[in-house]
Structure 1
Amino acid sequence: MVLMAKLVCHSRLLLLIIVFLSLHPSSQLQQHTQSQTLLKIQQLLNYPSALTSFSHRSNIRDFCKIEPTPSLTLSCYEGNITQLHIIGNNGFPPLPRDFSADYFFATLVGLPSLKVLSLVSLGLWGPMPASIGHLSSLEILNVSTNYLSGTVPLQLSYLRNLQTLILDHNKFTGQVPGWLSSLPVLAVLSLKNNMLNGSLPYSLASLQTLRVLCLSSNFLSGEVPDLRNLTNLQVLDLEDNYFGPHFPSWSHLC
């Protein structure tokens, strides 16, 4: 019986060691990947002044200790990066010609726990690639005041946790996508100062969670959908477009 008890005890100890060894390297590898991702982001953004604090940091614990500034906020939870805010200078020129939006956003996938991503005034240019859809934890995305172009990518519809989408002051073209209504918790949608055209999709009227809708300073036209069923809507900004001539009544916004 004593021998049997010892064998059981040793077996449990061996199992615990195996589990620890199987999990610990994975955790270390993920943290190392996040650290390398941040350093790669710094390189791809052409070493902006906002990221000077990245220098001489090699592990995730060092990055998580960076004090927030007006240009950079980096937040972590249990060794995983959950928020990344980088703000450049207003009127920042486009990044060099060898910049690749495809490669840049694919690099961001190395931060799988990211919930908040703000990349403002950094000179990003080119179409927003499909890889944005792999950041499945995103709740807030703000890429305003850049030079991003092309249509608003369908892959944003894969971000089922997305609550805020801000694409202001870019060069997006095409129509306001009808698939936006498929985002189940979208509360803030701002596409101001782009080159969007055509009429608004009537599916916007089904976005029950929407609180803010800003589409001003585009080339939108046609009739505006009746949005009276959007009982949570608090801010509606459609100015500087070509809507009309008739507008539905939205007395609940007054």
Structure 2
Amino acid sequence: MGYCSWFLLSCFLWSFLNPGTHQLQSSQTQVLLQLRKHLEYPNQLEFWNNHGMDLCYLSPSTQVNMTCQDNVVTELRMVGDKPAMVNSFVGFAITSQTLSGNFSMDSFVTTLARLTSLRVLSLVSLGIWGPLPDKIHRLSTLEYLDLSSNYLFGSIPPKISTMVKLQTLNLDDNFFNDTIPDWFDSLSNLTILSLRNNQLKGPFPSSIQRVASLTDLILSGNDISGKLPNLDRLSKLNMLDLSEKQFRF
């Protein structure tokens, strides 16, 4: 076999054995560029452009980290410079703290849902604001969801209860202000539940005592009260933070 033939065969075998090295699907690239537009072109995404660059090959940074496999995005992590810095939020854009009044959380999640192979999604301190729409459940492959330190308000969407692959749910430091949900036992793989520093109210959700996989439960900084159910069945629990609240035992 000639050198040229051997080289071509080697390249074929390498690409076959390393599917993660294939170029990102163009449709996935378009989704990422659309997300960049939704986020109003933050500085940390300045290297995302539409000039043929494969975004999967960009070096990770402390602000942006993306993992691709089999031509699709499987992990997307972003940290911005707009942490939630106000004590109250009434549902309107705040200059220099949130994204502009043109931002639509509904449209943003619709675009995100086109990344159909996502396992990890972390969008922290990006100034995203608005109610979190029920359609977040379309990201049905998610195992890790972190939307902390933003300006999300209203209810925690009930359809999150259908995201059965979730292992981590972190909604810390937002402005969710409805009754705390009581469907957490639908998430049988959940290990970390953190809802710290919101405005959730009502009784402690009894469904939590049936999530045997939980290792971390953090509900401090809300207005939760009442009788605390027996948590003996949570044998894997390593961290329980209910500080600042009054419970009856």
Interval containing the TM-score (normalised by the shorter chain):
0.7 to 0.9
Q: What SS does the aligned partner of 1:136 have?
A: coil
Residue matched to 1:159:
163
Q: What SS does the aligned partner of 1:33 have?
A: helix
The correspondence for 1:50, drawn from 44, 47, 55, is: 44
With normalisation by structure 2, the TM-score equals: 0.83
Residue matched to 2:73:
81
Q: Greater relative contact order (Cα 8 A, min sep 6): structure 1 or 2? A: 2
Cα distance change of structure 1 residues 35 and 171 upon mapping to structure 2, 3 Å threshold: same
Q: What SS does the aligned partner of 2:75 have?
A: strand
Residue matched to 1:31:
25
Residue matched to 2:11:
none
Q: Contact 1:119/1:142 (CA < 8 Å) preserved in 2?
A: yes
Separation in structure 1 between the aligned mates of residue 46 and residue 75 of structure 2, nearest angstrom = 18
Q: Contact 1:215/1:237 (CA < 8 Å) preserved in 2?
A: yes
Q: Contact 1:35/1:58 (CA < 8 Å) preserved in 2?
A: no
Separation in structure 2 between the aligned mates of residue 82 and residue 157 of structure 1, nearest angstrom = 21
The correspondence for 1:223, drawn from 223, 227, 232, is: 227
The correspondence for 2:58, drawn from 46, 66, 69, is: 66
Q: What SS does the aligned partner of 2:81 have?
A: coil
Cα displacement (A) at 1:90: 4.7
Separation in structure 1 between the aligned mates of residue 162 and residue 29 of structure 2, nearest angstrom = 26
Residue matched to 1:203:
207
* Alignment partner of 1:131 is 2:135: yes
Separation in structure 1 between the aligned mates of residue 141 and residue 217 of structure 2, nearest angstrom = 23
Cα displacement (A) at 1:89: 1.1
Separation in structure 1 between the aligned mates of residue 130 and residue 52 of structure 2, nearest angstrom = 30
Q: What SS does the aligned partner of 1:208 have?
A: coil
- Superposition RMSD in Å: 1.6
Cα displacement (A) at 1:205: 0.7
Separation in structure 2 between the aligned mates of residue 98 and residue 139 of structure 1, nearest angstrom = 30
* Alignment partner of 1:100 is 2:119: no
Residue matched to 1:237:
241
Q: Contact 1:57/1:63 (CA < 8 Å) preserved in 2?
A: no
Task: Report runs of 4+ in structure 1 exceeding 4 Å deviation.
Answer: none
Cα displacement (A) at 1:224: 1.2
Residue matched to 1:213:
217
Separation in structure 2 between the aligned mates of residue 36 and residue 139 of structure 1, nearest angstrom = 23
Cα distance change of structure 1 residues 56 and 36 upon mapping to structure 2, 3 Å threshold: closer
Cα displacement (A) at 1:226: 1.1
Gaps of 5+ in 1: 1-26, 248-254
State, as a whole percentage, how many aligned pairs show the same letter.
Answer: 41
Separation in structure 2 between the aligned mates of residue 125 and residue 236 of structure 1, nearest angstrom = 28
Q: Contact 1:94/1:124 (CA < 8 Å) preserved in 2?
A: yes
Q: Contact 2:162/2:186 (CA < 8 Å) preserved in 1?
A: no
Deviations 1:61-98 (A, max 9, x none): x1110110000000001111000001001537111001
Amino acid at match of 2:75: Q
Cα displacement (A) at 1:175: 2.1
Cα displacement (A) at 1:58: 3.8
Aligned residues: 216
Matches for 1:162-177 after TM superposition, within 5 Å? 162-177=166-181
With normalisation by structure 1, the TM-score equals: 0.82
Separation in structure 1 between the aligned mates of residue 207 and residue 135 of structure 2, nearest angstrom = 25
Cα distance change of structure 1 residues 78 and 173 upon mapping to structure 2, 3 Å threshold: same
Larger radius of gyration: 1
Q: Contact 2:82/2:98 (CA < 8 Å) preserved in 1?
A: no
Amino acid at match of 1:199: P
Gaps of 5+ in 2: 1-21, 85-96
Higher helix fraction: Structure 1 or Structure 2?
1
Separation in structure 1 between the aligned mates of residue 242 and residue 185 of structure 2, nearest angstrom = 18
